[in-house]
């Protein structure tokens, strides 16, 4: 697929724990000719620390963000969703750069559909940034698995998505690219 003509200056800020959202971010950065920056926690992922942060609703420390969102026409936020919430390192990042965001959108390569997830994510984004996103898109990893494994959290969470599997999301990826046309 040919890279889209760069119409606007775009930044992709992403966080990825297992590599799925990193792969998606790199794929979209190439297609959009966008700048890209990874959100990196200062401490290595440990299950106990993750659970403590999650249950105490505590956001981890991250390394400074070097890109200034105010210098971009559109910022694309890409991060996983854990139990109806944006991954905590991205929450930290959005808390820091939220006031600088003008136009932004959110994408998650996440597990599977859950009732109320989209509205919860919209509310969380508005709280963290002070404004609603232009777009939200969820790509569910569960759609890539055999039907009998789609609701199995371990199977979904352990699946590493490949770039060739992004074809399953063809219409959604096309829609995302059209946000920038």
- Is 106 within 8 Å of 148 (Cβ atoms)? no
Structural domain contains residue 27: yes
Q: Which residue(s) pair with 136 in the sheet?
A: 106
- Structure confidence by residue, pLDDT tens digits, 11-65: 999 999 889 999 999 999 999 999 999 999 987 665 555 555 556 666 778 999 9
Average pLDDT on 128-156 reads: 89
Q: Which of 82-86, 122-126, 158-162 has the highest mean pLDDT?
A: 122-126
pLDDT in tens, 144-171: 888 888 877 777 888 899 999 999 999 9
Give residue 161's pLDDT: 93
The answer to whether residue 67 is domain-embedded is yes
What's the predicted TM-score (pTM) here? 0.88
**Residues spanned by the domain of 24:** 10-178
In tens, the pLDDT along 109-123 reads 998 888 889 999 999
> Which has the higher per-residue pLDDT, 154 or 97?
97
Residue 105 lies in a domain: yes
Q: Which of 48, 44, 36 is nearest to 61 (CA)?
A: 44
pLDDT attached to residue 57:
62
Q: Where are the alpha helices (DSSP H) in 60-135?
A: 88-97, 117-129
The pLDDT, as a whole number, for residue 56 is 60
1 band by pLDDT with thresholds 50, 70 and 90: very low
C-beta separation of 74 from 104 below 8 A: yes
What is the predicted pLDDT for the residue at 172? 95
Q: Radius of gyration over alpha carbons of the chain, in Å?
A: 16
Asked if residue 89 belongs to a domain, the reply is yes
Question: Mean pLDDT lowest for which of 49-58, 84-93, 132-141?
Answer: 49-58
**2, part of any domain:** no
Asked whether the predicted pLDDT for residue 88 surpasses 80, the reply is yes
Please report whether residue 92 resides in a domain: yes
Output the domain CATH number for residue 111: 3.40.50.360
State how many domains the chain has. Answer: 1
Report yes or no on 5 lying in a domain: no
């Amino acid at each position: 697929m040919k890279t889209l003509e760069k119409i606007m200056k775009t930044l992709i800020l992403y966080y990825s724990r297992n590599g799925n959202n990193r792969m998606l971010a790199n794929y979209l950065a190439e297609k959009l000719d966008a700048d890209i920056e990874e959100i990196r926690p200062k401490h290595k992922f440990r299950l106990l620390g993750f659970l403590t942060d999650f249950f105490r609703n505590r956001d981890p420390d991250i390394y400074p963000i070097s890109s200034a969102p105010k210098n971009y026409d559109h910022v694309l936020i890409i991060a996983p969703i854990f139990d109806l919430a944006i991954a905590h390192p991205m929450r930290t990042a959005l808390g820091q750069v939220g006031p600088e965001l003008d136009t932004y959108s959110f994408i998650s390569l996440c597990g599977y559909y859950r009732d109320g997830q989209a509205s919860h994510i919209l509310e969380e984004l508005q709280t963290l940034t002070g404004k609603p996103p232009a777009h939200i898109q969820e790509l569910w990893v569960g759609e890539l698995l055999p039907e009998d494994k789609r609701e199995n959290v371990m199977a979904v969470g352990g699946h590493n998505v490949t770039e060739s599997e992004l074809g399953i999301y063809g219409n959604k990826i096309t829609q995302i690219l059209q946000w920038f046309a």
